[in-house]
Homo-oligomer: A and B are copies of this chain.
Amino acid sequence: MPAQPSHTPTPATPDPGPEALRADARENRERILRAAREAYALHGIDVPISAIARRAGVGVATLYRRFPTRTSLITEAFTEQLTECAGALDEALEDPDPWRGFCTVVRKVCAMQAADRGFTHAFLARFPGDTAYAGELDRAEEGLALLVRRAKEAGALRPDFDVSDVVLALLANNGVAKGAGPESAAASRRLVGYLLESFRAGPATGPLPPPAELELDRLGGTG
């Protein structure tokens, strides 16, 4: 990355932010994001950039100037949904019944996975150098750990449940939800039903294989 001309008004920020854009550019930026969300939801994050540009009715160059890298577009496109996830977690933490909160958040995130083919990929993929994601993820993991602890203390979640089992559930659900149609949504619901049932503390739970050391990053990489 070459040095900027010596005295631009914004020396350290290559991205002036969406508000500083010219009106038409801001409009196009929104169109691109909308198109990207639609395309990702329908076809996963593997859709060519050119397809997104075409769907947005702009040229490829326009897209690239606004989102210099592929990942920056993906990141931006899914920020909304990530926020929604974080909100779901916050709501769950406010529920007086921690088990109900736990179920709700798991159901919600899994339903989002099933509804949007690209979501999990964006959710699980580690974007190098992307600090916004990292912060959210850390916060989410903290909140999740708290929720799990409370649900266990309430005697509703089985004691040998591990926080990483949430990731396990998300990955499993992702495997089911990848198919496009409405039946994959149904399949996802049924899987979550099974899983939540086995997560619940019960009388006759036998020993379980040990939890894998799953992290929210490190996963969803190459598959």
A contacts, CB < 8 Å to B? 43-44, 117, 165, 168, 171-176, 178-180, 183-187, 189-195, 197-199, 202-206, 208-214, 218-223
Contact = CB atoms under 8 A, between A and B. Distances in A.
A87 B113 CA distance: 35
Contact of A198 (B197, B204, B211): B197
Most buried by B among A191, A195, A203, A221: A191
Contact of A183 (B185, B202, B212): B212
Contacts of A214: 183, 187
B197 A168 contact: no
Contacts of A195: 194-195, 198
Contacts of A206: 197
Identical chains bound together, number:
2
Most buried by B among A44, A175, A210, A214: A175
Contacts of A220: 178-179
A44 B221 CA distance: 12
A205 B197 contact: yes
Contacts of A191: 168, 172
8 contacts: A171-B187, A172-B172, A179-B223, A187-B211, A194-B199, A194-B208, A197-B208, A198-B198
Contacts of A222: 43-44, 178, 180
Contacts of A193: 208-209
Nearest to A214: B187
Contacts of A202: 202, 204
A190 B203 contact: no
A43 to B, nearest CB: 8
Contacts of A178: 171, 175, 220, 222-223
Contacts of A218: 179
B183 A213 contact: yes
A81 to B, nearest CB: 18
Contacts of A199: 194
A187 B208 contact: no
Contact of A175 (B174, B190, B209): B174
